[in-house]
Structure 1
């Protein structure tokens, strides 16, 4: 189908009208400060509604305790000396597991994704690990490594590393070969190719992989601590649930959610920075 030569071309005025229409459909836009205020206001409203519903509708505390009771559980657990030590244990295991995952997955993904024949061999195994539910590996991990930190760190690595590896491999495969050829034509060394061509092109994929790995690593941490039942935040939640201490269970859940939100926000910021680094 061909366009008629007499057909009117889109003008700048029409384009501006379209842009205004799209903006109006999206609704009002807010700057960063306004978004922070709105987010805090929504959180305050949510917790206030939680308190009012549980206080005046006689909701059983075993199902949903009052928010004030959940907050009161924090100083109680701190006074007992169980909150901070278990939080630090979970944080330590998580950081170690994620760092090991990045140390393995990023360089391996760059190598595998950059060599087509190797990619065809390794990809099926990577995707199998990526899609496999981590919980099915826990019985074997417990048999091999027992109930210590090693088992939990290994589960974090098995949860986070495949996610990072998948995206880094994809980024390495999508490197613009015309840029590589142009750099070689100007006499670029291998180091210069990596620093000025490969890394800028793969950086957004690496950042996305880190974001996925961070979130999946949190799931691995929680599953590992529930199964090992030795220490950590998951163990503390398990003990609290067995004692029917529902406010403590909700407190631990809120702490876990808050940490997850912080980590995801940090990796989203990293992903945006990496996307700006990529050449157009």
Structure 2
């Protein structure tokens, strides 16, 4: 006589007893050529929409000039030698301001972030300067140095230094304490700790801080040229505004936008290279 054993009923959970689970969707990686083509198509679409809206929407040209008129102003300014001379002046002032900013912000961030009592004493003032609108500093800057290129460099430095400083300062605090204790146990000096432990761990934060400083420095450049410049991109915008030449205003804003994109893209490339360097095995 055979006996049958009742097996426990199996509770079916949706998706558990399927023969094949759904595949995870992986993010598509575009090649460099595909990214360039997509970017050009995106830009061309934007320009076509701009031209159509400005032509057929009935918006006065003073408020929205056609892209062909804006492009014509760029060609005319380039032919007259106005565009490239003033663009070169703005670029030189910006580079000088950013070199000074990086030379000041990176060492200061490493020192403030690495010394606890100094961090407690100065971090409040650093964050206050970081959140302060730069435009409120212009009267003081004009009073200190006058209306010249030094005023523009000063506003760039005051804009870029706090942005870079806070990122580097906070990055130093993320260094793993176990690594510091291990290095001290092997008799490492303070300089060796900084060189072999703190600096490699903080390099990505330095790259990110420089990118933040570059973006803030561009705002400082634009503010400085609008208020103090007798040349440069902002000076042309001010003159075009006084003569109600909206096409020239749009043209110089477009040049400034492309200038900003180039600067920020270069720092993003630097940041990606630093992250790739960090991921490489020792």
Measured against the shorter chain, the TM-score band is 0.7 to 0.9
Unaligned runs of 5+ residues in structure 2 are 1-17
C-alpha contact (below 8 Å) 1:200/1:277 kept by paired residues: no
Equivalent residues of 1:90, 1:232 under 8 A apart: yes
Q: Which structure carries more helix by proportion?
A: 1
Offset of residue 277 of structure 1: 3.7
Offset at residue 127 of structure 1 (A): 0.5
Q: State the distance in 1 between where 2:192 and 2:118 align.
A: 23
Tell me the number of residue pairs that the alignment of Structure 1 and Structure 2 aligns: 263
| Structure 1: segments with no counterpart, 5+ residues | 1-13
Closer, same or farther: CA 112–99 of 1 in aligned 2, 3 Å: same
Q: Which residue of structure 2 aligns with residue 53 of structure 1?
A: 53
CA distance in 1: counterparts of 2:202 and 2:277, whole angstroms = 10
* Matched residue, 1:173: 173
In 1, the alpha carbon distance for the partners of 2:75 and 2:163 equals 37
Deviation at 1:237, TM superposition (A): 0.6
SS in 1 for 2:143: helix
Q: Are 2:63 and 1:63 aligned?
A: yes
Give the aligned partner of residue 43 of structure 1: 43
1:185 is displaced (CA, Å) by 3.0
Summarize deviations over 1:160-180 as a string: whole Å, max 9, x none.
000111011111111112112
Q: 1: CA distance between counterparts of 2:135 and 2:46?
A: 32
CA distance in 1, matches of 2:68, 2:178: 61
TM-score (norm 2): 0.87
What's 1:8 paired with?
Answer: none
Aligned to 1:121: 121
Q: Tell me, in whole angstroms, the C-alpha distance in 2 between the residues paired with 1:21 and 1:85.
A: 54
Larger Rg belongs to: 2
Summarize the Cα distance change of 1:17–1:164 in structure 2 as closer, same or farther, 3 Å threshold: farther
Alignment of 1:7-22 (within 5 A): 20-22=23-25
Worse overlay, 98-107 or 225-234? 225-234
Q: Please state how far the C-alpha of 1:249 moved relative to its aligned partner.
A: 0.8
1:200 aligns with 2:200: yes
CA RMSD of aligned residues (A): 2.2
User: Which residue number in structure 2 is paired with residue 252 of structure 1?
Assistant: 252
